[in-house]
Structure 1
Amino acid sequence: MRDTKESRLLLVLLIAIAFALITVDIRGGRNSPVDGARQAAAAVFGPIENGMSTVVDPVGNAVSAVRDSGERHDRLARLEKQNATLKAKLGSDDRNRSRLGQLEKMLNVAAEGQYGIKGAQVIAIGSAQGFSWTVTIDVGYNDGIKRDMTVLNGNGLVGRVTTVGPDASTVLLANDPDFTVGTRMEGSDELGFASGQGDRPLRVELLDSKAEVKKGDRLVTFGSQGDKPFVPGVPVGTVSSVDPSNGGLTRTLYVTPFVSFTKLDIVGVVVEAPKKDPRDEVLPAKPKPTPTPTVTVTVTPSADASANGTDTTGQQQ
C-alpha cells in the first residue's frame, strides 16, 4: 500500500474506530455490545493460538527444565560434597579415637614400667639400609633420640633404634632375622635369647635345656648393660610351642609376640630407663579361666511308682 493522502486518512479513521470500540466495550462490561464479535474472533483465531502454543511451549519447557536441571545438579553436588566432608570427618574421628586408645595404652605401659618415653608416629615402612623389617618414626636427635634405644607400644616390645636423623629415626623391628634380645620367663626367671623370624613366631633359646616350660608362658626383656639397647621388663610374647628336649645345651621355644608388626602406628622410644627392674609388672593381667558349669540332675518319682508304693530306689515301701 502506497503512502498517499487517502491511505493516511483511512489509517486515522481505523484508529478512531478502534478507540471507540474499546471505549464502548469497557463501559458495557459484561453486557458489552462487542462481546459477540470477541467470541467469534476467539472461535476463529483460538485454534491458531493453541497451535502456536503447542510449538512454543516445549521450547519454553525445555529451557525451564535445563535451568531446573542445573539447579538440581548444583544442589546434588553440594549435598555430595557435604556427605564427603562428613564421611572424612567421621573417618578422621574414628582414626583419632583409635590413636588416642593406642596412646593411652602405651602411657599405661610406661607408667607401670616407670619408663620415660618419647611418643612417635610410624611414617614409613622399610629403609635404605636393606633391613627386611624396619619402620621410620617421626622423631630424631632434635627430640633427644639416640641410637640403641628401646622402642615399645601399648602391647610390648616393638624394636630398637638403629639410625637417627634430625627429625626421623629408623627402628629395627623385633621380628627381623637380625634382631636378638635377652628374655626372662615370667615366674621362673629362666633366661634366654629371642630372635626374629619375619612373619613367623620368635625363636627363643633358653639357657637351661631342662627348664620347665609350657604353652602359654610369657616372656619379658631381660635388659642390657646400661639399659641399651634394651630396658628390662618390656613384654615380649607368649610361648606357642616348645621343642622336645633332645639333650642339647639349650631348649628351643617359639613365641608369639604381643606386638602386631604389620599394624604399627603410635610407638614410644624409651629415653629414660626405670630406676629398678619392673620384673613382671608390665605384663597384662592373665585372663581368668571360665568356670565349668555345674549340672544338677533332679529325679522325679513317676506316678505309677508312687501308686505301687515303690520309692525311687526300687524298694517296696
Structure 2
Amino acid sequence: MAKNRLRGGRASASRRSFTGDDGRGGGRPGFGRQRSGASSKVVVGLVVAASVAVITVDAAGGDDGSPVDPLRSAVAGVVGPVEATTARATRPLGAALAYFSSNRDLREEVATLSAQNSQLRSQAEQVPLDRNRLAELDGLTRTANETGYALVAARVVGMGPMQSFSRTVTIDAGTSSGLRRDMTVLNNDGLVGRITSVTRTTATVLLIVDTDSVVGGRLGSNLEIGFLRGRGVTAERGRLDLDLVDNSVTPGQGDVVVTWGSQGGKPYVAGIPIGTVESVYSTPRELAKRAVIDPYVDFTSLDVVGVVVPKDTRGDRVVVNGLTTTSPGASDSSGGDR
C-alpha cells in the first residue's frame, strides 16, 4: 500500500511537471503550446531569411548574370506555357465582352446621331413653310400699307365639311383678337371671304366661291358695278359669276374686278382685288351678258390670312396698321353685299 501511494504521488508530480499546472488551475501555459508557437515563428523566420538570401545572391551577380537565372528560366519555362494557354482560352471571352461593350456604345451613338438627323431634317423641311408664311405676312403688310386698312393676321386651321356643300374655313383668331362677325378676310393675293361666326379663339370664314356668297364688285376699266356669286367650287375651276347692274355694258376680257364696299365696311371693305374677267357669255333668255371671274386667291392652299379690323382694335395679337388712310369716299352706302 505504501508503494502504491508512492507511485501515485510520482505520477501526479510528473503530470504537474509536464503540463506546468501547480494544481490550482492558474499555472503557466504548458510545454505543448509553447512549442507550437515557437515552431511557427521559426518557419516564418526561415522563409524571410531564404528570401533575403536569394535577393542578395541575385543582386550580387551584377551584369555577369545571377546564380538564380537557371532557376528563373526553369520556372518561366513551366509557367510561360500555362500563361499562354490561359490567355488563349480567355481571349474569346474578353473579345466577346469587348464586342458587347463596343456594340452598346455604337448603338447609343447611332441613336444619338439618328435623333440629331431627324431634328435637322425636321428643321430643313420646316424652312420652306416658314419662308412661305413669312412671304404671306410680308404681303399682308404691303396690303395694309397700300389700302390703309388695319389687319389682324391669322392662320387657317380647318376647312368646312364637304357634305355640307358649304365652302368655309376656320381661322385661329377670335374675339380675343378683336374679331367680330361680318369682317372682311383677305390675303396677299386678294379677297378671301367674310366672317360668319366667331368664338373667343376661332372664327368661321365663308369663302367668296360659296354659292351663298354675294359680293359687290366693280370693274377697273370703267368702274361699272355688279354682283359676284360663287359656284361652290374651290378647286382649279373655282370661278365667280359677275352680273353687272347696267345690262348694256359688256365686260372686257382681262379686266380687273375689285370690291366696291359695304356701308360701314361690313361685310366687305372697298378696293380689295377679287380677280380678272376670264370670259363673257349670255343666254337667249337673258339680255345682259355675264362675266366669268377667275379669282386671284387659290382657295385650296390658304394658310395665312388677314382680317380687316378698326385701327383702334385691342386684343391678344398685333394689329398691322397701314401707312395710308382710307379716303372718305372709299365706302359706298348701297349695301350691295350680303
TM interval, short-chain normalised = 0.7 to 0.9
Q: Which residue of 1 aligns with 2:174?
A: 140
Q: Which residue of 2 aligns with 1:243?
A: 281
Q: Note if 1:206 corresponds to 2:243.
A: yes
Q: Note if 1:104 corresponds to 2:156.
A: no
SS of match in other structure, 1:201: coil
- From 271, 292, 310, give the equivalent of 1:233: 271
Amino acid at match of 1:201: G
Whether contact under 8 Å (2:184, 2:193) holds in the other structure is yes
Q: Shift in Å at residue 221 of structure 1? A: 1.4
Q: Which residue of 1 aligns with 2:206?
A: 172
Alignment TM-score, normalising by the size of structure 1: 0.73
Q: Shift in Å at residue 158 of structure 1? A: 0.8
SS of match in other structure, 2:61: helix
Q: Note if 1:257 corresponds to 2:295.
A: yes
C-alpha distance in 2, partners of 1:131/1:269?
24
Higher relative contact order (CA 8 A, sep 6+): 2
Q: 1:25 to 1:178 in 2, by over 3 A?
A: farther
SS of match in other structure, 2:291: strand
Cα distance per residue 1:122-144 (max 9 Å; x no partner): 22222799463212222222332
Whether contact under 8 Å (2:230, 2:241) holds in the other structure is no
Q: Shift in Å at residue 76 of structure 1? A: 3.2
Amino acid at match of 1:28: G
Q: Which residue of 1 aligns with 2:305?
A: 267
SS of match in other structure, 2:254: coil
Q: Shift in Å at residue 28 of structure 1? A: 3.0
Amino acid at match of 1:21: V
Whether contact under 8 Å (1:201, 1:255) holds in the other structure is no
Q: Note if 1:20 corresponds to 2:72.
A: no
Q: 1:121 to 1:203 in 2, by over 3 A?
A: closer
Matches within 5 A, 1:257-296: 257-272=295-310, 274-276=326-328
C-alpha distance in 2, partners of 1:113/1:161?
20
SS of match in other structure, 1:171: strand
Cα distance per residue 1:162-204 (max 9 Å; x no partner): 0011222111112222222121222122333222231233231
Unmatched 5+ residue regions in structure 1? 280-317
Amino acid at match of 1:81: A
C-alpha distance in 2, partners of 1:123/1:85?
24
Q: 1:120 to 1:57 in 2, by over 3 A?
A: same
- From 207, 225, 230, give the equivalent of 1:191: 225
Whether contact under 8 Å (2:242, 2:293) holds in the other structure is no
Q: 1:236 to 1:10 in 2, by over 3 A?
A: same
Whether contact under 8 Å (2:275, 2:295) holds in the other structure is yes
Q: Shift in Å at residue 113 of structure 1? A: 1.5
How many residue pairs match? The answer is 275
C-alpha distance in 2, partners of 1:140/1:131?
24
What's the Cα RMSD here?
A: 3.3
Higher helix share: 2
Q: Report which of the two structures shows the higher radius of gyration computed on alpha carbons.
A: 2
Q: Shift in Å at residue 34 of structure 1? A: 2.3
SS of match in other structure, 1:111: helix
Give aligned-pair identity as a percent. Answer: 40
Q: Which residue of 1 aligns with 2:259?
A: 221
C-alpha distance in 2, partners of 1:247/1:190?
23
SS of match in other structure, 1:267: strand
Q: 1:28 to 1:260 in 2, by over 3 A?
A: farther
Whether contact under 8 Å (2:240, 2:294) holds in the other structure is no
Amino acid at match of 2:138: E
- From 97, 112, 130, give the equivalent of 1:78: 112
Q: 1:277 to 1:116 in 2, by over 3 A?
A: farther
Whether contact under 8 Å (1:142, 1:166) holds in the other structure is yes
Whether contact under 8 Å (1:123, 1:137) holds in the other structure is yes
Q: Which residue of 1 aligns with 2:93?
A: 59
Amino acid at match of 2:204: T
SS of match in other structure, 1:261: coil
Moved more, 27-36 or 157-166: 27-36
Q: 1:26 to 1:204 in 2, by over 3 A?
A: farther
C-alpha distance in 1, partners of 2:185/2:274?
12
- From 141, 148, 162, give the equivalent of 2:196: 162
Q: Shift in Å at residue 150 of structure 1? A: 0.8
SS of match in other structure, 1:229: coil
Q: 1:38 to 1:227 in 2, by over 3 A?
A: same
